[in-house]
Amino acid sequence: MTPSTPPNPLREELEDDRLPPPCTMVIFGASGDLTARKLVPALYTLWKERWLPPAFAIVGVARRDESDDAFRARMREACTRFARARPVDTADWDAFAAALFYHAADFDDPRGYVSLAARLDRIERARGTGGDRIYYLSTAPAYFATIVERLAAAGLLDRDRHEPARRVIVEKPFGVDLESARALNTRLLACAREDQIYRIDHYLGKETVQNLLVFRLANGIFEPLWNARYVDHVQITSAEAIGIEGRGGYFDAAGIVRDMVQNHLFQVLCLTAMEPPASLDADDLRDEKVKVLRALRVPSEADLRDGVVRGQYTAGSVHGRPLPAYVEERGVAPDSATETYVALRLLIDNWRWAGVPFYLRAGKALPKKVTEVALVFKAPPPVLFSVRHRAAREPNVLAIRIQPDEGISLRFGAKVPGPSTEIHPVTMEFRYGSSFGREPPEAYERLLLDCMLGDGSLFTRGDEVEASWAWIGHLHRHWASGEAPPVAPYAAGSWGPTEADRMMERFGVRWRRP
């Protein structure tokens, strides 16, 4: 007998085909931070809002010994703190917790997978889930291939059968360079089909990222302008006001390019620049994203010298809170040259974007947390207004804010009331919260639901991962050669190194201040 889910009046307004079939989600790494902060709170919210089927189960797998009841108590505390659907009351939680189970196993030990198989069979019979399974790899990257190989060896991941469904969600980082990404793809594809592998990037689950395509392709006034004829340049910014928050050991080996650019910013770049797909099917969407990555111009020595800036924050303050220098953070080498900031100038050599620069920047310890895409349009001919009115030379800007305060703004020139023809820039704004009157879902809620439905359109494909690493490799080889300029310092709480501003001045533009 399976529990019923609570009523949700919004379900009447939404697509019936978004309710997934019965399934079991197995989370490897259930003792980790991601499970507590994101995964189980997202699943709880989906259940409470009636997006999960009545027949479902969640099985946490980790090395340490823990009972089902202890796991449930720990996850209740996590949902109380982090779930979007709060408060968590006893009646709601008791019904959800009945679907939570815990299984102790060592990720390397084949015997743990034999016992997991027997446990899953018992849970699926009790819960009526029907055999569909999703394996979520929320572990250290070194275990990704090992877990998939052990699942396959234990008969838990059938590569040749399509029913019942067997899917694997792989967290980032998916490799640290092209060679490691290819090696990981090879090992995974020896055990599972490409359509069974869901490489997750939570940025693709954000409402505004998804709205990029809707905004472009469902509105006839914008798509005709979305090209080199009208757009002067594009800026994509991902700024964080925090430092590395205790992740020194990981971040010092990765840097901001591996941590943010290769995955998050390149995904936003692809959705901004891609051609309209043949359909909204997963492979049609991902085909167009791969084309963008393959069209990125291979940087010359001059491109790497003039169009790339890397920086590292020094001591300062953000929002009045003192922040130590990066090299003083725990886990960071005192002589580290790891970049905490990067600015890039990219060119896409295709018909739509030929000659239009894309400026990307990402950084830690900046003045505010914000991620946005800004299309800066070309100025009209300076015949009537631009010569006499300085404000008329301000470009029109279409800005799509991904986080926080998700929304879209359009800046244009307007005449100031009065007898003169004074022109002043004004802004029209749309915000999700005020326009729709409800909070957008968390990214993991959407992505977990899509995987249950077998929809891979918001997940990355293997060739897409490899294409992004292929371009990023040019940066790392250049920096390793010893011929690149040293990492530029910038004070925590500033907008990055002055070298990044000088780079923009060199090309006749300037950074937006979101």
Residue of 103, 202, 233, 264 with catalytic role: 264
Q: Distance from first CA to last CA of the chain, Å, rounded? A: 53
Cβ atoms of residues 366 and 319 within 8 Å:
no
CA–CA dist 348, 298 (Å, integer): 10
C-alpha neighbours within 13 Å on the C-beta side of residue 457:
16
Report the length, in residues, of the chain: 514
CA–CA dist 342, 308 (Å, integer): 7
Cis bond leading into 164, ω under 30°?
Answer: yes
Cβ atoms of residues 341 and 256 within 8 Å:
yes
Q: Which residue type occupies 141?
A: P
Q: What are phi and psi of 390, to 5 degrees?
A: -60, -40
102 has which bridge partners? Answer: 60
Strand, coil or helix: what is 27?
strand
233 labelled catalytic: no
Place of tokens 């770049």: 269
Beta-carbon contacts of residue 107 (< 8 Å; ≥ 6 apart)? 28, 63, 139, 143, 146, 147, 150
CA distances, 310 to each of 90, 126, 268, 460, 478 (Å): 50, 55, 20, 27, 12
Per DSSP, the chain holds a count of helices (H) and strands (E) of 16, 17
Q: Which residue type occupies 153?
A: A
- Angle (deg, nearest 10), helices 40-48 and 68-82: 80
- 19 by Cβ neighbours in 10 Å (0-12 / 13-18 / 19+) ranks as middle
Cβ atoms of residues 338 and 252 within 8 Å:
yes
CA–CA dist 51, 449 (Å, integer): 8
Q: What angle do CA 248, 254, 258 make, to 5 degrees?
A: 135
CA–CA dist 106, 63 (Å, integer): 5
Token couple for 245: 């928050």
Strand, coil or helix: what is 251?
helix
CA–CA dist 442, 113 (Å, integer): 31
- Residues recognised as catalytic: 264
